Amino acid sequence: MIPFLSLKDVTALHGEEINEAVSRVVNSGWYLQGEENARFEQHYAEYIGTKYTIGCANGLDALIWIFRAYIELGFMKPGDEVIVPANTYIATILAITENGLVPVLVEPKYNTLVIDDQQIESRITDRTKAICIVHLYGRISCTPKILDLCKKYNLKLVEDNAQAHGCIYAPTGQRTGSIGDAAGHSFYPGKNLGALGDGGAVTTNDPELAAAVRALANYGSQKKYVFKYAGRNSRLDEIQAAVLDVKLKYLDADNAHRKEVARYYYENINNPLIELPDRLPDGQNVYHLFPILVKDGKRDALRDYLAANGVGTVIHYPIPPHKQECYASAEWNTPTLSLPITEANANEELSLPIGPSISIEEVETIVSLINRY
């Protein structure tokens, strides 16, 4: 059996240090907003290349607090528009609509799976306040054109970095999470940098935004029993912070193994039913996932064939956000909304096993099965 991702095996790679970190927290008697959080926030900010990291409960909350902070600070208001890729995981859209903002969905490029920067400018209106890019599957989605558009129209650039810890924007050498005005990060267990439960963070160089986000995630309070905002309880606990601080030391090495797995897939998959997304230069993809596109309506059949031969796969994502029931009556989701590339991706995408614990021998088995299909 080759699982899609064995979290037990991933944790075991650094198990001794993780156990020591968890025991340290348990024995300390301090479980929230303590030294572990402060240490991880400092180390993660240094790694990403920003002045501030603010830990929170999960990646969705991280994005919610960014947009909410911009509203509280007067840069946005409910009804304003945010340009966002149409093929993202629904959490990106939820963070926008949670704040009463309007998502403006833009198609991806079919061969890259990330937002098509050539389609953005035509969607900008006088209500547009931000572009939210998503480094989907671990692939860089920022481009010089997107940065130019933000400058030209005075737009905030928000990064959804839930899937791309450690990815590099080649023109400047910056890590994702430090390119825009603010970024949301997820530490869901299956991520490249994953906790042993839920966790998230916001990174930014903006001190005013950082202070607002930290307050909003702590009931809206900057001082005990004094509430500047109507916030929520959304904090990263000490155990998760300690675990993440251990795993952060190995992130680049773990990503390097993912790249070796991806290299083998790219160089050896040979089946006319399968199309691989464009291969990016080194560093611009940290391969959180390895998506393939399966033609001729054969995606589900290939998934079942691999499962029958002991290989786990996952579809990311079978129903795009604009087709979800929760947005069926949304004003922005008009009957004329046409997103054929997004819908094609949803019908063809299949993610193959990849991660820091999978062996190249297992990858060889997977490729052999695919090529015989």
Query: pLDDT of 192-222, one tens digit each?
Result: 999 999 999 999 999 999 999 999 999 999 9
Q: What is the mean pLDDT of the chain?
A: 98
Which pLDDT band, with edges at 50, 70 and 90, does 20 fall under?
very high
Q: What is the mean pLDDT of residues 238-254?
A: 98
Q: How far apart are CA 368 and CA 269, in angstroms?
A: 8
Q: How far is CA 132 from CA 79, 180, 290, 369, in A?
A: 16, 9, 22, 38
Amino acid letter at 203? T
Per-residue pLDDT, 93:
98
Per-residue pLDDT, 98:
98
Which pLDDT band, with edges at 50, 70 and 90, does 325 fall under?
very high
Beta-strand runs (E) in 11-166: 52-56, 81-85, 102-106, 128-134, 156-160
Q: Which two three-digit tokens encode residue 121?
A: 């400018």
Q: What is the mean pLDDT of residues 139-143?
A: 98
Which pLDDT band, with edges at 50, 70 and 90, does 343 fall under?
very high
Provide the whole-model pTM: 0.97
Per-residue pLDDT, 236:
98
Q: How far apart are CA 49 and CA 205, in angstroms?
A: 9
Which pLDDT band, with edges at 50, 70 and 90, does 101 fall under?
very high
Per-residue pLDDT, 103:
98
Q: How far apart are CA 349 and CA 346, in angstroms?
A: 6
Per-residue pLDDT, 199:
98
Per-residue pLDDT, 23:
98
Q: What is the mean pLDDT of residues 165-182?
A: 98
Which pLDDT band, with edges at 50, 70 and 90, does 257 fall under?
very high
Per-residue pLDDT, 359:
98
Which pLDDT band, with edges at 50, 70 and 90, does 16 fall under?
very high
